[in-house]
Amino acid sequence: MGLVTSRSEPLARLSVLFSFLAWTVLACAAEESIAISPVSVREQLSVKIVGEFPHDPGAFTQGLLWYGGKLYESTGHYGRSSLRKVRLETGDVEEQISLPRQFFAEGLTKAGGELIQLTWREGVAFVYDLRRFRESRRMSFQGEGWGLTYDGKWLVMSDGSDVLTFRDPNSMAVWRQVPVTVKGRPVRFLNELEFAQGAVFANVWQKMEIMRIDPLNGKVTAVIDASSLLARMKLPPRDVLNGIAFAPERGTFFLTGKYWPKLFEVRFE
């Protein structure tokens, strides 16, 4: 999810103002709704950094995944949204597909031989042929799109609320919805998602924490404190943590954020 910035029309400037005001309200609500005490969940984890890599500081990261030794990244903003294939070691973009200007890209996942990329408010999911790296079709869905992952059978999608929605990867049809809670209390503003090790890992918008969620019942089983990443960057990042990708062959996760100059390889412990 991200703030819309348009320079082309007066109406766009008005839209920015309303978006900013709405975000201010949401940020205050976020602080109130997802404060989690150390005794609220089964585990309190932190990140152990095992590697650091360059990351494009101009990338408004919305989705991140690792496959075949490459990073695939969805970047947002109207007029600047893209799908990228990125070389880990250098951060160089090897291939890129730019979305039409009317789309604001969000979460990204791989399902079979396809990449699926959400849009924020446009109700469209772009589907790409992974091998050819080109668009193959589009799917429609209702509501906002924030984060997206794949559990091997169903797409798991967030929309900024406390609910995870499980969808058919071929049609986006809703199969079931699961509220995410800590001791019955909702955890709102779920954002970028990654399915790994039998759990859903979720960024929470405006937080330096990652939630580990049981996909069967929506209960948060661990909170991962990622605040130590900030100290490893020479300058404070312009925006928030957003981007989780699991590398099963390495047993590690890749983490980055919107406009971050670095991408981190970490373990949770």
Q: Report whether 107 contacts 130 (CB < 8 A).
A: no
pLDDT by residue (tens digit) across 60-81?
A: 999 999 999 999 999 999 999 9
Backbone dihedral angles phi then psi of residue 265, each to the nearest 5 degrees:
-100, 125
Instruction: Give the residue with greater pLDDT, 215 vs 28.
Output: 215
Instruction: Give the residue with greater pLDDT, 237 vs 191.
Output: 191
pLDDT at 31 over 90: no
| Mean predicted confidence (pLDDT) in 167-192 | 96
Location of structure tokens 């509220």: 179
Residues contacting 220, CB < 8 A, separation 6+: 36, 40, 41, 180, 181, 182, 187, 211, 212, 213, 214
For each of the domains in the chain, give its residue range(s) and CATH number, in order of start: 37-268 (2.120.10.30)
Structure tokens at 94: 């090897």
pLDDT at 20 over 60: no
Residues of the chain with pLDDT > 70, as a percent, come to 84
pLDDT band at 17 (very low <50, low <70, confident <90, very high): very low
Q: In what helix (H) or strand (E) does residue 21 lie, and over which residues does it extend?
A: helix 10-33
| Mean predicted confidence (pLDDT) in 19-30 | 43
pLDDT by residue (tens digit) across 106-131?
A: 999 999 999 999 999 999 999 999 99
Q: Name the strands in the sheet holding 220-225, side by side, starting at the edge strand that comes first in the sequence.
A: 190-196, 199-204, 209-213, 220-225, 43-54, 262-268, 252-257, 241-247
Helix (H, G, I), strand (E, B), or coil: what is residue 13? Answer: helix
Helix (H, G, I), strand (E, B), or coil: what is residue 60? Answer: coil
CA distance 203 to 34: 12
Instruction: Give the residue with greater pLDDT, 222 vs 235.
Output: 222
Residue 52 pLDDT:
97
pLDDT by residue (tens digit) across 131-167?
A: 999 999 999 999 999 999 999 999 999 999 999 999 9
Residues contacting 239, CB < 8 A, separation 6+: 2, 60, 257, 258, 259, 260
CA distance 159 to 28: 18
pLDDT at 4 over 60: no
Residue 96 pLDDT:
98
Indicate the pTM of the whole model.
Answer: 0.86
CA distance 19 to 31: 18
Residue 26 pLDDT:
45
CA distance 5 to 68: 34
Location of structure tokens 């979305």: 99
pLDDT by residue (tens digit) across 182-227?
A: 989 999 999 999 999 999 999 999 999 999 999 999 999 999 999 9
